Structure 1
Amino acid sequence: MLFWIIVIVAVVYVFRSTSLRQQWITGPAFKLFKRVLPPLSQTEREAMEAGSVWLEADLFKGQPDWQKLYDLALPELTAEEQDFIDNEVTELMSLIDDFDAVHNRKDFSDAAWQYMREKGFFSLIIPKEYGGKAFSALANSTIVSKIASRSLSAGVTVMVPNSLGPGELLSHYGTEQQKDYWLPRLASGQDIPCFALTGPEAGSDAGGIPDTGIVTLGEFEGKETLGIRLNWEKRYITLAPVATVLGLAFKLQDPDGLLGDNKHIGITCALIPTSHAGVEVGNRHLPLEQAFMNGTTRGKDVFIPLDWIIGGKDYAGKGWRMLIECLSAGRGISLPALSAGNAHLSAQTTAIYSAIRQQFGCSLYEFEGVQDGLAQLAANAYKAEAIRRLTAGGIDLGQKPGVVTAIAKYHMTELARESINIAMDIHGGKGIQMGPNNYLASLYTALPVSITVEGANILTRNLMIFGQGATRCHPYVFEEMMAAAEPDFQTGLNQFEPLLFKHVKFAVGNAFAAFFGGLTGARFVRVPKQDANKRHMQQIHRISKGLAFCSDIAMLMLGGELKRREMLSARLGDVLSELYMASAVLKHFYATGANPQQQPLVDFLIRESLVNCEAALKGFCRHISNPVVGVLLKRLLFPWGTSFTAVSDGVKTQLATTLCTDDAFRNNLTPLCYVGREEDDAVRVLNDAMTAIDNLTPLMKKVRAAQQAKTLPRKGSIFQLREAALAAGVLSESEADQVAQADALRMRVINVDEFDFSLDSVVNA
């Protein structure tokens, strides 16, 4: 007994004595931390500090705040924004023939280009005082989604000037002189912008751009001027072939010290008229045969004055932070918008086609294999809208959440890929025969564009989501890294020491909470809703605790090596992503009135997320460096084995049937799907055919009754028996004409385009 008293007193004494504690405990821990942590470059530090953390931080810490989520007042579209969508967007769509643009012109008509310029489609984010629309992120997203459901090429064309580019960079960082000159020109469409970042040697690694600028004296407008001599080669630049003003990112150097002592100033952004001497633009790429303008720009020994730097010379070297902050916001608006339009179009058109198209005497949606795909399409459409609205809403609330926008970019583009693949599978031959009546093919062929741009999906998943999440969302790691970066050891140790004890307490608490949640199924977790979603919230809370603990274990065991263990860290990123997306689904459900008809969608999606989380966490446990630790972690997180299962086949059948037979449910689920005003619009024909067939319901009952009475043959649909029903007096002349009209529309849906032998013109559609 005396021995243990002495031990306890000794431990207390060591912990209370700063010198002894730092000598024997925190000092060695700090040395270990500094050794395993890779050097933190200025570029990495700026990337970490850029933007903000938001709801994802609560999820990463194991502390989801449901009340904060549900109380979050997300912005809605203003009357002006809704009017623009209802009128200008609709009119633009009537001016775009996507098939003609993609397969014939490789461009839009002059009328479409002129309309986009005049009506402000390139100035959605420019402030009103400069002639722009100053629309919200939600409006920007909704406009791009609507356009993309009609024409992805048009969606990209509108998206780019309203994402990362001169308009946004000038609005945030430009000098007053730059804003006064350029923003009105951009707002009126007098100038078309592009932004050149990506080059042959720098794709996803934007920080590694080789393009250079040297501070030097040169001649400008007949006078000797202090400026920059630029050399660059860029590719994949959307709108470059038609741009009149070029935003350019390059690495600025000042070898002669003309601006100060810093000779390697860093990444800088400048604005250059494409008419300026030495600027080359014009050569086009052909991205999967889409119609949007995309191409190259080059420059050799191009001299520009210093005041062409965006923000002026004070912003020399600040380009990387500018790009990171603007890119995170744009990534959360543009590509999720394209994906949401894709998901809504896929769900609406496939549901209607499945109801109209028959095989073996049954509508396609009556086959269980098709129901499986249709249920996923319905769930994806709901999920896409939930993530889109929450993410865009957060940006409108002033957030610049780099982690959330990376999640939205990666998972929504992958969701769109899944949706369009299902849609193509169900449409079969209808989906693969190109022509004006094929509403899927252009989206299908263009999908990889979204997958590869603004950070290729492999990079986004494997490096960005967890990499940024671990440093920005964790309550202590970023500050610990800053302490480790301190050049003076004692200063860093003094900063590190209190963080270490808080970190240990945090990790131990999460371990106990995760284990107790696993043992009890999280039934004792308090949540604000006592309805059908109570268990969903409790289980999300449980997984959130598990993620927090596993993240600490990963960083403790692997340190800087975790950056290179991409497959391992990506699994933790997947868990964070699934938790955010599940939270978005719950927020969307309650924000839109908690419609009981949508509860099966919520159940489908939350259970899908939980299954994915369990698979990712078990994969993490299986592949972590120490197998013993992996087994213990798995037992801690899932003490009873498998915890989560997907929804039943019955729920999928219910969702598929409702999607195909309930017009109100389908239209409410797919509001972003554009339906043309013209009678020959392919999606309009699809909807008109569905309406016409629905209106035949009373006549179908009469025909079935006649079949049962043996007045008409037992086999055959109302379309096949129309003439016999008319002859037998089952249908009147007007009723038979109604059937014929519906049948004509039905066949327009089923048939595919035919071309002459040269493929120059459609001969039968």
Structure 2
Amino acid sequence: MITLGQILALVVVLWVSAYKRLRTGTGLALAAGVLVVCGLIWSVAILPWIFLGVFAALYFLHDLRKDKVTLPIFKMFKSVLPPMNQTEKDALEAGDVWWDGELFKGNPDWKKMLSYPKPELSKEEREFVDVQTEKLCSLVDDWKVTHEDKDLPKAAWDYMKKEGFLGMIIPKEYGGKGFSAIAHSTVVQKLATRCGALGVSVMVPNSLGPAELLLHYGTDEQKNHYLPRLAKGEEVPCFALTGPEAGSDAGAIPDSGVICKGQYKGEEVVGIRLNWNKRYITLAPIATVLGLAFKLYDPEGLLGEQEDLGITCALIPTDHEGVVAGNRHYPMGQAFMNGVTSGKDVFIPLDWIIGGKDYAGKGWRMLVECLSAGRGISLPASATATGKLSYRMTGAYAMLRKQFKTSIAHFEGVEEAMARIAGNTYQLEAMRNMTAGAVDLGVKPSVASAIAKYHMTELARSVVTDAMDVHGGRGVIMGERNYLAGGYMSMPISITVEGANILTRNLMIFGQGAVRCHPFVFREMQAAANSDERAGLEEFDSLFFRHVGYGVSNFIRTLTLGLTGSRIAPKPVSDKTGRYYQQLTRMSSALAMVSDLSMMIFGGDLKRLERLSARLGDVLSQLYLASTVLKYYEDNGRPQEDLPYVEWCIQKSLFEIQKAFMGFFENIPVKGLGTALKWIVFPYGKQFKMPSDKLDRQIVKPMLSDNGLRDRITVDAYLGSAEDAAGRVEDAFIKMLAVAPIEKTLRKAMKEGQLTSGRNVEETVATAVAAGLLTQEEADQYMVFEAARSDAIQVDDYSKEYIRTGKQTKKSSSKAAA
């Protein structure tokens, strides 16, 4: 009995040590101390000391452990390690581990997250958004751009170049704006609420393209030549990566360059003879300078002994001999400049390689590091634009549009769709801020930006689909009045570019995240790949046994947090959201445990089990989504009116985490393992639910009135004047709110029998004036509103000739009601 008691005491100490993630030596010392105390109280029991001694020997006898235990494991690990080509290696090593690493390791430091600076615009950036960006929006008519001219007007292009929109990321010393990532994001977002083509035209030169590559890798000569010209719009850039045979698999590009001697400016020089055929290249039809990715070969050994140098990036003037700027593409009816470029036997000098000849073969690493900015800023900005415009307009339109004499906003089916619009738009804005803020911290968040790209574009697709459903015919009929159709039609573009979403979810988020974010796996792989086997074994020995301790800790933590409902987890805040931090900590611990076990069981095969790994990626993603909401809430001072939105988003994320875990457990191809994991992670069964109808109602309510929260959620959405598509609906909505007391008077009078409804609104209002229920001034105000409301719900109609050609003057006729 004494022995059993001491074994139990030993287990408790080691359990608590594992839960607290104490150092192994510290845990063993505490265990020894407890056994000493137990021996003094009762008597010494041998068995607990034997157990402790075995653990201590493995820990402290380094050489014995390394030779007898680690070496066989090291050899087995090297034999089962999947082969990795240079493209995969570069992708894994690119970018930085950031908050995603905290979420993956199972014990996130929430105070660290909350200490990140709040992303904010400088005074200069705020003025640029409010003045120049507003002005640029006013120069563009989305319908005319998209359906008539198929291009931005010259005035917009000229203003864009003059005011530095194409050089926002270029430092001021080169004549650029030197704007922050959050400013870049905000400008693109605002432009995209006005016109998709406008947003894309500014987005591309400021994301993945020549300017960013030059800033990070260019030679001084290249920077001094190109950056001032790019900043002023004297050069228009494009970057050509994708081709007919290579999309997301950039390593498969057939475009090639061969190191050889050739003529340049009348002299024989060492250069590159290029052949390429690219498509889907934004701005290619109007670009003056072409960034080009290709595979570089050196068969004659002019640069060294290596023949296959790898993917390389070069910068080529489009007027250079042999460069062909081909025809335009027409992506989903969108009018931004997108097209093809090709070249056959085009000779360029070596110093046109971005970074010079020293960067030959380093192009893929350059691209994947810079791609995180595009994924983390540009596409999230355009997705948020879709959300903000949908949020503001759907709330207003749903109040203006009536069915059965009731605003459709008050139908529960409509409310359900509007709740998704509201909650998802709040999520989009939170994620936009935190992800762009990471870039401003100097981080290249490769995994977090992939999460942002995938989930934000998918959320935007959901939001605009719900908005279309609520608008009905008003959203379906194309014309100057339609502010939704452009965003609806362009969503597949965002979902396809910069890594198709299917591959981003199934291969990238967990595939890259599991290796890069894990505290040990990537370093273990590097140790195994070390050409110095002795040094590799030494490093592996330290990492592997720390990894074992980490795995044990994750199991202990997950089971303990599950059994206690995570109530013992620390909370960084004392308000109502503290409980959510505890639950997310528990799910983070579960992800760490399940991921470790999965990698141990399946090894390299896990990346081929895409549906399983994607579900674990979903868990990591939802942890990140929830984090951004909590950060956004804290950054804004915990406003109480935001709390329902925060709860809605976190509850949804927790439910999605639970759903992903359950899908993983039910489909894991190891008999009995899924059931065991389900019990460990969810010992009391499913406990997370989607937000309630009551919470849905709470987050929809701010959409239906003019208030500070509505303005903050949709900040920097361009509405324009009462003559613009969005401005027309907003103007009628504000007028509706102003006449609410008058409408209430009319409804009350009709309910009490003091007023009979006329054949139309004019007759009813005139009767109310005659009965003394309204003053003439009130009647006039109400009729002004009614005219604005009627105009706001109309849709466009066109002559047959215009529909056929798009060139005939629009037919003047009454509008058809939605």
Superposition map of 1:298-317 within 5 A: 298-317=342-361
Range that drifts further, 46-55 or 390-399: 46-55
What displacement does 1:476 show?
0.4
What displacement does 1:486 show?
2.4
Paired residue for 1:707, among 742, 750, 761?
A: 750
Partner of 2:246: 202
Superposition map of 1:677-716 within 5 A: 677=721, 679-713=722-756
Superposition map of 1:282-681 within 5 A: 282-677=326-721, 679-681=722-724
CA separation in 1, counterparts of 2:755 and 2:59?
94
- The number of residues matched between the two structures is 764
Q: For 1:363-418, what per-residue CA distance to the aligned partner results, in whole angstroms no more than 9, with x for missing partners? A: 11111111111111111111111100101011001000100100100000000000
CA separation in 2, counterparts of 1:18 and 1:83?
62
Paired residue for 2:111, among 49, 61, 67?
A: 67
Q: Is contact 1:387–1:408 with CA below 8 Å preserved after alignment?
A: yes
- One-letter code of the match for 1:334? S
- One-letter code of the match for 1:504? V
Range that drifts further, 12-21 or 88-97: 12-21
Q: Is contact 2:397–2:471 with CA below 8 Å preserved after alignment?
A: yes
**Aligned with 1:698: secondary structure?**
helix
- One-letter code of the match for 1:169? L
User: Aligned in 2, Cα 1:589/1:719: closer, same or farther, shift over 3 Å?
Assistant: farther
What displacement does 1:3 show?
9.6
Q: Is contact 1:753–1:762 with CA below 8 Å preserved after alignment?
A: no
What displacement does 1:120 show?
1.0
CA separation in 1, counterparts of 2:181 and 2:51?
61
What displacement does 1:6 show?
8.0
1:251 lines up with 2:266 in the alignment = no
Q: Is contact 2:383–2:457 with CA below 8 Å preserved after alignment?
A: yes
Range that drifts further, 169-178 or 330-339: 169-178
**Aligned with 1:73: secondary structure?**
coil
Range that drifts further, 630-639 or 484-493: 484-493
CA separation in 1, counterparts of 2:496 and 2:506?
14
Partner of 1:21: 65
1:92 lines up with 2:136 in the alignment = yes
CA separation in 1, counterparts of 2:57 and 2:98?
41
Q: Is contact 1:719–1:740 with CA below 8 Å preserved after alignment?
A: yes
Paired residue for 1:277, among 321, 324, 335?
A: 321
What displacement does 1:92 show?
0.8
CA separation in 2, counterparts of 1:231 and 1:170?
23
Range that drifts further, 177-186 or 694-703: 694-703
User: Aligned in 2, Cα 1:720/1:57: closer, same or farther, shift over 3 Å?
Assistant: farther
Q: For 1:514-561, what per-residue CA distance to the aligned partner results, in whole angstroms no more than 9, with x for missing partners? A: 111111110111112111101101000000000000110110000000
CA separation in 1, counterparts of 2:370 and 2:133?
25
User: Aligned in 2, Cα 1:262/1:275: closer, same or farther, shift over 3 Å?
Assistant: same
| TM-score scaled by length of structure 1 | 0.97
User: Aligned in 2, Cα 1:732/1:548: closer, same or farther, shift over 3 Å?
Assistant: same
1:724 lines up with 2:767 in the alignment = yes
Range that drifts further, 492-501 or 76-85: 492-501
CA separation in 1, counterparts of 2:338 and 2:57?
69
What displacement does 1:207 show?
2.1
What displacement does 1:113 show?
1.3
CA separation in 2, counterparts of 1:347 and 1:11?
59
Partner of 2:209: 165
- One-letter code of the match for 2:785? A
1:751 lines up with 2:800 in the alignment = no
- One-letter code of the match for 1:747? S
Q: Is contact 1:719–1:739 with CA below 8 Å preserved after alignment?
A: no
- One-letter code of the match for 1:515? L
Q: Is contact 1:56–1:580 with CA below 8 Å preserved after alignment?
A: yes
Instruction: Kindly report the root-mean-square deviation, in angstroms, between the aligned alpha carbons of the 2 structures.
Output: 1.9
Q: Is contact 2:706–2:734 with CA below 8 Å preserved after alignment?
A: no
User: Aligned in 2, Cα 1:727/1:398: closer, same or farther, shift over 3 Å?
Assistant: same
**Aligned with 1:763: secondary structure?**
coil
1:763 lines up with 2:801 in the alignment = no
What displacement does 1:176 show?
1.1
CA separation in 1, counterparts of 2:55 and 2:547?
20
Range that drifts further, 116-125 or 272-281: 116-125
**Aligned with 2:777: secondary structure?**
helix
| TM-score scaled by length of structure 2 | 0.91
Q: Is contact 2:528–2:536 with CA below 8 Å preserved after alignment?
A: yes
**Aligned with 2:69: secondary structure?**
helix
User: Aligned in 2, Cα 1:368/1:210: closer, same or farther, shift over 3 Å?
Assistant: same
What displacement does 1:426 show?
0.4
- Aligned residues with identical type, % of pairs: 52
Q: Is contact 1:340–1:672 with CA below 8 Å preserved after alignment?
A: no
What displacement does 1:467 show?
1.1
Gaps of 5+ in 1: none
CA separation in 1, counterparts of 2:269 and 2:554?
61
Q: Is contact 1:39–1:485 with CA below 8 Å preserved after alignment?
A: no
Q: For 1:133-162, what per-residue CA distance to the aligned partner results, in whole angstroms no more than 9, with x for missing partners? A: 111100000000001111111111110000
Range that drifts further, 730-739 or 112-121: 730-739
CA separation in 2, counterparts of 1:527 and 1:403?
26
Q: Is contact 1:245–1:271 with CA below 8 Å preserved after alignment?
A: yes
- One-letter code of the match for 2:135? E
